[in-house]
């Protein structure tokens, strides 16, 4: 089949055929609005996130928006995937071959003389050899073209591309659904009812946020509804495909095979030549069994019979593939940060439960899972806002779960998923705030305690239930 014929099959709107409703779904992720807001910026837009998280669906929704809302001419929207064998049969096939056919045989316009913008969507672009060099060329020549690209992890989009695309590309991270997003997907697909609107927590004005949250907090019917959905989220995690599956046994098998195994063997191995890929999967199981614990790289290396450098490298791959998170210990001493243990956890709680084959969640492990969920919420915030995320451990080996460095201040966050919090439970975070409160460089003005069902302000500590925590 020729490139031209393949492109016509992939882009049915060229023949005035509407996009299949199954590709559009009935619900849009929050990131849809972020993409729409940047769709006409000059810079290349990259949508980064793990496989099966909904990036391709987002692309179809954006294309449908351009066709239906902006009334862009059908043939001025091109979509294809970098792993499509009908377009890229071997490694010698070039991105320019596809684009030349599009401009010369389909659009029939000279790319140097485009009067109206062209939108080019390339899914899984990392499979195309030297993709970053081609995009740099098109961008630098100032063609009237907007590129929107996706990749299954930050590995793909930043290996050998940072320098060449510096200042030319902007990123939107599409990760598993936060609880607030999951809740409204649940309202759409399960409850078939209207969204539940929980105000975002404004870290710059928590007093105002607490007052807004009180309106929901004292609504008992709404609280029961939200906490019921939270129990489901704690078990199944944030991958949107759950709403197509629903059965927990089938879902966990799909997570294991479709996201974990293929994420390792297809995504990571397509980029790096790894001698022992099976160790990556064993590491995931090990981390899931010891989630949110602190580790020394040397101890993990000993466990798997590999050297420390290889251990650090493999953990880096898993983090870049959005399967785990690795936190450094917060300190002003860089050497101490490097030396001390790292806190490692599975990024998505559904994946953790899948790895451990946990199909029911009891109270004994709920608190540990919620800690991972809060860690994920803040990683998403840090990716978006370019903040830095740490944990804290003092000389007595007492810890604070998360430290967020916003450059203008430092915010300590503790997860106490209980309704009985004693003063002794707040000792470490209170001492941390007192120690840093007068520091003009790394000033701490307040701390946040994530609770099970306590909402209040006490001194410079803000207590917020997780079921109301939306950042």
Q: Are residues 149 and 117 in the same domain?
A: yes
Q: What does the pLDDT average to over 301-328?
A: 90
Q: Are residues 166 and 256 in the same domain?
A: no
- Look at residue 422 in the predicted model and tell me its pLDDT: 93
Q: Mutual orientation of helices 349-356 and 363-385 as an angle, nearest 10°?
A: 140
- Look at residue 225 in the predicted model and tell me its pLDDT: 95
Q: Are residues 397 and 458 in the same domain?
A: yes
Q: Are residues 112 and 206 in the same domain?
A: no
Q: Are residues 243 and 149 in the same domain?
A: no
156: nearest Cα among 133, 179, 127, 184: 127
Q: Are residues 16 and 146 in the same domain?
A: yes
Q: Which is higher by pLDDT, 104 or 397?
A: 104
| Span of 1-5, 19-23, 133-137 with lowest mean pLDDT | 19-23
Task: Please return the burial class of 418, using the count of CB atoms within 10 Å of its CB with bins 0-12, 13-18 and 19+.
Answer: middle
pLDDT at 276 over 80: no
Question: 253: domain range?
Answer: 180-468
Q: What does the pLDDT average to over 435-462?
A: 90
- From 144, 173, 202, the end of a domain falls on 173
Q: What does the pLDDT average to over 117-143?
A: 91
Q: Are residues 421 and 392 in the same domain?
A: yes
pLDDT tier at 213, thresholds 50, 70, 90:
very high
pLDDT at 262 over 90: no
| Span of 128-132, 133-137, 227-231, 411-415 with lowest mean pLDDT | 128-132
Q: Are residues 328 and 273 in the same domain?
A: yes
- Look at residue 362 in the predicted model and tell me its pLDDT: 85
pLDDT tier at 364, thresholds 50, 70, 90:
confident
pLDDT at 158 over 80: no
- From 158, 173, 188, the end of a domain falls on 173
- Look at residue 397 in the predicted model and tell me its pLDDT: 85
User: CA torsion angle for 211, 212, 218, 219 (degrees, to 10)?
Assistant: 170
Half-sphere exposure of 129 (CA within 13 A, CB side): 9
Q: Are residues 22 and 137 in the same domain?
A: yes
Q: What does the pLDDT average to over 44-69?
A: 92
**To which H or E segment does residue 10 belong?**
helix 3-10
Q: What does the pLDDT average to over 254-278?
A: 76
- 105 contact partners, CB below 8 Å, separation of at least 6: 4
Q: Coil, strand, or helix at residue 171?
A: strand
Q: Are residues 157 and 196 in the same domain?
A: no
Q: Are residues 160 and 202 in the same domain?
A: no
| Span of 121-130, 147-156, 158-167, 335-344 with lowest mean pLDDT | 158-167
pLDDT at 423 over 70: yes
Q: Which is higher by pLDDT, 318 or 90?
A: 318
pTM here is 0.90
Domain count, the chain: 2
- Look at residue 334 in the predicted model and tell me its pLDDT: 66
Q: What does the pLDDT average to over 370-398?
A: 91
Contact between 259 and 50 (Cβ < 8 Å) = yes
pLDDT at 459 over 90: yes
Q: Are residues 113 and 66 in the same domain?
A: yes
pLDDT tier at 381, thresholds 50, 70, 90:
very high
Q: What does the pLDDT average to over 25-35?
A: 89
Residue 140 sits in a domain whose CATH number is 3.40.50.300
Determine what percent of the chain is predicted with pLDDT higher than 70: 94
Q: What does the pLDDT average to over 163-188?
A: 89
- From 173, 208, 241, the end of a domain falls on 173
């Amino acid at each position: 089949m020729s490139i031209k014929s393949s492109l016509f099959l992939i882009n049915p709107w060229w023949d005035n055929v509407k996009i299949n409703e199954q590709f559009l779904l009935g619900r849009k992720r929050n990131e849809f609005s972020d993409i729409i807001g940047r769709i006409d910026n000059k810079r290349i837009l990259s949508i980064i996130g793990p496989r099966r998280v909904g990036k391709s669906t987002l692309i179809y929704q954006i294309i449908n928006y351009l066709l239906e809302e902006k009334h862009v001419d059908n043939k001025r929207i091109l979509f294809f995937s970098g792993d499509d064998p009908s377009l890229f049969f071997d490694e010698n096939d070039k991105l320019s071959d596809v684009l030349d056919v599009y401009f010369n045989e389909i659009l029939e316009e000279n790319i140097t003389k485009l009067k109206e913008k062209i939108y080019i969507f390339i899914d899984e672009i990392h499979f195309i050899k030297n993709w970053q060099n081609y995009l740099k060329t098109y961008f630098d020549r100032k063609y009237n073209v907007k590129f929107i690209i996706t990749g299954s992890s930050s590995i793909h989009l930043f290996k050998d591309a940072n320098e060449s695309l510096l200042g030319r590309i902007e990123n939107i991270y599409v990760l598993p659904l936060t609880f607030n997003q999951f809740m409204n997907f649940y309202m759409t697909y399960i409850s078939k009812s209207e969204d539940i609107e929980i105000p975002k927590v404004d870290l710059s004005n928590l007093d105002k946020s607490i007052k807004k949250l009180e309106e929901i907090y004292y609504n008992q019917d709404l609280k029961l509804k939200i906490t019921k959905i939270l129990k489901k989220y704690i078990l199944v995690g944030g991958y949107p495909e759950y709403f197509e599956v629903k059965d927990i046994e089938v879902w966990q098998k799909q997570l294991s095979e479709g996201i974990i195994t293929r994420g390792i063997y297809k995504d990571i191995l397509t980029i790096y030549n790894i001698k022992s890929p099976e160790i990556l999967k064993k590491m995931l199981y090990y981390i899931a069994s010891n989630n949110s614990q602190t580790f020394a790289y040397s101890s993990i290396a000993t466990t798997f019979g590999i050297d420390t450098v290889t251990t650090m490298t493999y953990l880096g791959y898993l983090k870049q593939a959005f399967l785990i998170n690795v936190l450094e210990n917060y300190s002003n001493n860089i050497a101490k940060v490097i030396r001390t243990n790292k806190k490692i956890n599975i990024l998505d709680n559904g994946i953790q439960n899948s790895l451990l084959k946990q199909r029911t969640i009891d109270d004994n492990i709920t608190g540990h899972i919620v800690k991972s969920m809060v860690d994920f919420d803040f990683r998403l915030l840090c990716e978006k806002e370019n903040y830095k995320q740490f944990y804290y451990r003092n000389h007595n080996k007492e810890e604070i779960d998360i430290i967020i460095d916003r450059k203008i201040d430092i915010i300590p966050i503790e997860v106490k998923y209980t309704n009985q919090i004693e003063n002794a439970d707040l000792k470490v975070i209170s001492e941390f705030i007192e120690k840093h409160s007068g520091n003009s460089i790394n000033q701490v003005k307040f701390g946040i305690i994530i609770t099970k069902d306590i909402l209040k302000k006490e001194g410079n500590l803000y207590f917020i239930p997780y079921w109301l925590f939306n950042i």
